[in-house]
C-alpha cells in the first residue's frame, strides 16, 4: 500500500513511452559506504529511475536509428526537436518537497491518521500523528505539517526545531535521507531533483558525449 514507485516518460511528436521504472525506499548509512564503488548507496525510487534513464540514453547512443538523439557537427549527441522527459512519483519526494501544511480538521486527513494509528496500535480513537518513535502523538487543533524523515545536514547552522504543529520543520535547507541506524550521506530526493533541474539528468560522464543538458 505504501510502496514508492517512480517512472520517466519520454515524449516525442510520435509517442509517449515509459523508458525507466523503479521502486525502492532504502539508503545505506555512512558506515556502510564502500571505497571501491561496488555498493549502491541510495536506493530510493527517484534515484534508481534516473540510473535506469542513463541506461536508456546509452542504448539510444549506440542505436543505428535513435529515437531521441541526432548527431551534431562536433560529433556529439543532441536531443531532437520536441523531445521531452517527464518524471512520475506516486508520493512526494523525501526532503523539503514533503513538507507542507495540513488541515487537521479535514475529514479525509483524520481518516488517514486513524488508519495509520490503527496499524501501529490496533486501536481506533481520535485522530493523531505518528511520531518518529512509531507511537501516536496528539496533533494541535486546526493545523499541522506533513513530516519528512530527511534530516538537515549536520553542517547547517539551521536545524529543525521539532516544535508543535507547523513549526516542526525549517524550510529551504539541504537534507540527507533517513536511514536505519547511522545517518546517511545521501542528499534527499527533493535536493537531488532540484540539482537535476539545474545541471541536467545526464551526469558527468554522459556530459562528455551530449552537447546540452537533459532536463525534466
Question: Which residues participate in catalysis according to the annotation?
Answer: 46
Torsions phi, psi of 47, nearest 5? -75, -40
Residues 6+ apart with CB under 8 A from 86: 8, 9, 10, 11, 216
Burial zone of 95 (CB within 10 Å; 0-12 exposed, 13-18 middle, 19+ buried) = buried
Q: What is the largest CA-CA distance in the chain?
A: 68
Owner of C-alpha cell 505539517:
145
Amino acid at each position: 500500500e505504501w510502496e514508492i514507485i517512480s517512472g520517466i516518460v519520454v515524449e516525442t511528436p510520435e509517442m509517449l513511452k515509459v523508458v525507466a521504472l523503479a521502486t525502492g525506499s532504502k539508503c545505506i548509512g555512512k558506515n556502510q559506504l564502500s571505497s571501491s564503488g561496488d555498493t549502491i548507496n541510495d536506493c530510493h525510487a527517484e534515484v534508481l529511475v534516473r540510473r535506469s534513464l542513463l541506461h536508456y540514453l546509452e542504448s539510444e547512443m549506440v542505436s543505428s536509428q535513435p529515437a531521441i538523439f541526432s548527431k551534431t557537427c562536433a560529433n556529439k549527441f543532441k536531443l531532437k526537436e520536441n523531445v521531452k522527459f517527464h518524471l512520475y512519483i506516486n508520493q512526494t519526494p523525501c526532503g523539503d518537497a514533503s513538507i507542507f501544511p495540513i488541515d487537521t480538521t479535514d475529514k479525509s486527513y483524520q481518516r488517514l491518521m486513524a488508519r495509520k494509528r490503527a496499524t501501529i496500535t490496533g486501536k481506533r480513537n481520535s485522530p493523531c500523528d505518528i511520531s518518529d518513535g512509531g507511537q501516536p502523538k496528539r496533533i494541535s487543533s486546526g493545523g499541522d505539517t506533513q513530516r519528512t524523515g530527511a534530516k538537515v545536514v549536520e553542517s547547517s547552522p539551521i536545524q529543525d526545531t521539532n516544535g508543535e504543529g507547523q513549526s516542526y520543520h525549517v524550510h529551504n535547507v539541504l537534507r540527507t535521507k533517513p536511514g536505519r541506524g547511522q545517518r546517511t550521506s545521501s542528499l534527499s530526493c527533493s535536493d537531488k531533483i532540484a540539482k537535476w533541474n539545474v545541471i541536467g539528468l545526464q551526469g558527468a560522464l554522459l556530459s562528455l558525449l551530449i552537447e546540452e543538458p537533459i532536463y525534466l
